[in-house]
Amino acid sequence: MKYSAIIILLLFCLGCRQEKVQIKKEDRVEVQNYNEPHRPQFHFTPPSKWMNDPNGMFYYDGEYHLSYQYYPDSTVWGPMHWGHAISKDLVHWDHLPIALYPDSLGLIFSGSTVVDLNNTSGFGSEKNPPMVAAFTHHDLEGEKEGTNDFQKQSIAYSTDKGRSWTKYARNPVIPNLQKIKDFRDPKVVWHEESKKWIMSLAVYDKVQFYSSTNLKDWNFISEFGIEGDDRLWECPDLFPIVVEDEGVTKWVLIVSIQKKAPNGGTATSYFVGDFDGKEFKSNHVKQKWLDWGTDNYAFVTWDNIPKDDGRRIGIGWMSNWQYAQIVPTEVWRSAMTLPRELVLYRDGDDFKLRSSPIKEMESLRESVIPIEPLVIKDTAKIKGAFDPLQCELKLLIDPKKTTASKFGMELSNELGERLIITFDKESDSLTVDRTESSKNKFSDAFYNEVHTAPLTLGETNLDLTIFLDASSIEIFADDGVLNFTNIFFPTEKFSNLSLFSIDGELILEEGKIYPLKNIWTD
Ligand code: FRU
């Protein structure tokens, strides 16, 4: 009797556990044509059709949620919905049905979701805390009629772990009384000291902050901008982060910039400073760039990552508004970057962010192909049984022993299309040249410029982690001090990978290639 009771209890608990993480078969949306040329094999893409910004990201009960700007009827931007996917490891994703549809108040633009653990909103209970999504309602009709208040902030909630969403009956929660056309992308964070929710909102060339005790009633508290910057700001994200090795908490404000990023078009930037529950004060005047490549936009971070994990993890849209809608893909358009862990570190009197691919990516490593230490004069082809467009590379270079003034890596195919990554010791820089990466030049903005970033190639070894996936390269130099993300679309896959040196020798101390599994079929 006793034993059978224990067994029943055990089975019941097992059942509960399963219930927690189960995704009902009928809820799953199948990925279409994941073998389409250019389709990433280990990056998040929508099941099909158009995607832009990541939205509404939260962790709850063993599941990471990722929503995104989604137009399910076309491969170009259109009436925005929130697509939705979940993952247990941030690597493998299951697509769920659309979370939020446009309604009489408008399209569903970017925003965020928080887990309301204390049920401050009253939408759930303390036992079953609600998830509350804040987003921008964009009234297309109002915009067409020439009004100025067509963007407003609204909320929706879920009490079933994000499986279904109910829009709040009294939306919008922040009407656009200032009548500012660009008034959007609410990102909400809990401020423990004042026990309030803080919302950051992109308001043309500034961020405005609002506070609330219940996620429904919001008060304007302050705004932040920088003198002389009249570019459009989008997708802000304010969050606390502990300085590495110091234990001091600083606040980071991420802002995406819609124009004239370092390598053209759109990119994600950040400020480091302090936030007292009312005002954000930056420690520096000019923004810093989170990623120097052209293809990491609208990067924002997950809410409610457990304290014992403690990481600040974010993801960006791996494209650029300059050409996002015309890149040569058919069934789907746009991928996300790899999820990245942000670390705040001290650099003299300054604080900076490092970002690295999350450690969970290691689970995709199929095998390891070591590259023996090499002295490269001119070029050396990297041989081995691996696909150069589905792998992770680790290279350790000694710049002191390297006599070459420039060195780097080239990906190419038999058609002569190539992508060249160059490290220049004289100008202390990294360049990524995709100008000859395809004979099908679908956009001037995409092919005209060589992209560059400052990178000190000094005394210490240069350590590189590079992820290549069908149509993207993500470079993490020196443990993520420099990030560089670019996309490319060769007409035939790049099948050759070589290292090169100019005017001297390149000394490769160590190298490793990890062929990676895909995330859709295993
Ligand atoms: C950024 C953005 C957001 C907006 C969304 C619309 O890429 O312009 O500001 O909410 O895209 O899809």
- Confidence check: pLDDT of 20 > 50: no
CA of residue 474 to ligand 1 center, whole Å: 23
Q: How confident is the model at residue 48 (pLDDT cuts 50, 70, 90)?
A: very high
Query: Of 67, 152, 184, which is best to mutate to test ligand 1, by the most ligand atoms within 8 angstroms of its C-beta?
Result: 184
Q: Among 110, 112, 295, which is best to mutate for testing ligand 1, by the most ligand atoms less than 8 A from CB?
A: 110
Please confirm, yes or no, whether 53 is among the known catalytic residues. Answer: yes
* Ligand 1 centroid distance, CA of 152 (Å): 13
Dihedral of CA 64/167/252/472: which sign? positive
Average pLDDT, the chain: 94
Kindly state the tokens that stand for 80.
């925005």
User: What is the distance of C-alpha 214 from the center of its chain?
Assistant: 28
Nearest CA residue ID for atom 8, ligand 1: 234
User: Which of ligand 1's atoms lies nearest the C-alpha of 234?
Assistant: 9
- Closest atom of ligand 1 to 80 CA is 12
- Position of tokens 């998830």? 131
| Residue 151 CA to ligand 1 centre (angstroms) | 11
State the DSSP code for 264. S
Order of all β-strands in the sheet with 206-212 = 183-191, 196-203, 206-212, 219-224
Q: 2-11, 174-183, 275-284, 418-427 — which is least confidently predicted? A: 2-11
Q: Which residue from 235, 237, 256, 333 has its CB within 8 A of the most atoms of ligand 1, so it is best to mutate?
A: 235
374 phi and psi angles, rounded to 5 deg = -135, 145
Q: Specify the ligand 1 atom closest to the Cα of 53.
A: 7
Length of the chain: 522
**Is pLDDT at 26 greater than 70 in this prediction?**
no
Q: Which of 53, 291, 303, 424 is catalytic?
A: 53
Closest-lying ligand 1 atom to the alpha carbon of residue 185: 10
The pTM score is: 0.94
Q: Ligand 1: residues within 6 Å at CB?
A: 52-53, 69, 80, 109-110, 136, 184-185, 234-235, 298
Specify the pLDDT at position 521.
75
Residue nearest to atom 6 of ligand 1 (CA): 109
Of ligand 1's listed atoms, the one at least distance from the Cα of 109 is 10
Separation of alpha carbons 308 and 310, rounded Å: 5
List, as one string, the DSSP characters of 447-480: HS--EEEE----SSPEEEEEEEESSEEEEEETTT
Task: Determine how β-strand 49-60 pairs with β-strand 332-333.
Answer: parallel
What number is the average pLDDT over the span 310-317? 98
Query: Residue 381 C-alpha to ligand 1 middle, in angstroms?
Result: 42
Using alpha carbons, list the distances in angstroms from residue 141 to 78, 106, 111, 138, 169.
14, 8, 21, 9, 21
Question: What was the pLDDT predicted at 88?
Answer: 97
Distance 70 CA to ligand 1 centre (A): 11
Predicted confidence at residue 11, as pLDDT, reads: 40
> Residue 176's pLDDT is what?
96
Q: How far is the CA of 40 from the centre of ligand 1 (A)?
A: 23
Which helix (H) or strand (E) segment is 7 a member of?
A: helix 2-21
For 55-64, the pLDDT digits (tens) are: 999 999 999 9
pLDDT in tens, 197-238: 999 999 999 999 999 999 999 999 999 999 988 899 999 999
Maximum CA extent, the chain? 82
**Pair of tokens at residue 167:** 């829009």
Kindly report, residue by residue over 93-124, the tens digit of the pLDDT. Answer: 999 999 999 999 999 999 999 999 999 999 99
- Distance CA(416)–CA(412), nearest Å, equals 6
Q: Over the Cα atoms of the chain, what is R_g?
A: 24
Q: Give the pLDDT mean for 367-393.
A: 95
Q: Which residues pair with 250 in a beta bridge?
A: 241
State the distance from the centre of ligand 1 to the C-alpha of 35, rounded, in angstroms: 28
Q: Whose CA is nearest to atom 9 of ligand 1?
A: 234
pLDDT digits (tens, 9 = 90+) for 278-309: 999 999 999 999 999 999 999 999 999 999 99
Q: pLDDT at position 520, please?
A: 85
User: Tokens 């052209």 appear where?
Assistant: 294
Smallest CA-to-CA distance from 157 within 199, 181, 121, 182 is with: 121
- Residue 69 alpha carbon, nearest atom of ligand 1: 12
pLDDT tens-digit map of 139-188? 999 999 999 999 999 999 999 999 999 999 999 999 999 999 999 999 99
Substitution candidate for ligand 1 out of 55, 68, 69 with most atoms within 8 A of CB: 69
Percent of the chain with pLDDT over 90: 90
Say if strands 183-191 and 196-203 run parallel, antiparallel, or are unpaired.
antiparallel
